[in-house]
Amino acid sequence: MTLDACFEGHEDSRRLFDVLRRGVEAMDDVTLRVTKSQVAFRRRRGFAWAWIPAKYLRGKIAPLVLSVDLDHRSLSPRWKQVVEPRPGRFMHHLELHEAADIDDQVTAWLREAWERAG
């Protein structure tokens, strides 16, 4: 699947994704894997995923959600949800509403996840 097909009909989500993508691709050795449900940022393995809540949920929702794989539970109140799908792996879910949400703190979390995926 292409990025254009993934984001078809979700222009606000695509604009946010493009900002996010520019920040992630500034790191070396990053590839994208696009599926019907999400876009994975990968190094040797996946370290972050972006998905469009409007494909699955109704009501007042964020245009884009970023899920970041860390080896610890971050206590930042910015996370919408943090789950531990298996010991030592914590998936952090962050709602993105505007480009300003993709700030230095988010970039630091992405770099941490990227380093772990290498």
Contacts of 51 (CB under 8 A, 6+ apart): 37, 38, 39, 64, 65, 67
pLDDT digits (tens, 9 = 90+) for 17-43: 999 999 999 998 999 999 999 999 999
pTM score of the predicted model = 0.94
Phi, psi at residue 12, to the nearest 5°?
A: -60, -40
pLDDT digits (tens, 9 = 90+) for 96-110: 999 999 999 999 999
Contacts of 83 (CB under 8 A, 6+ apart): 90, 91, 93
For the chain, domain boundaries: 3-116
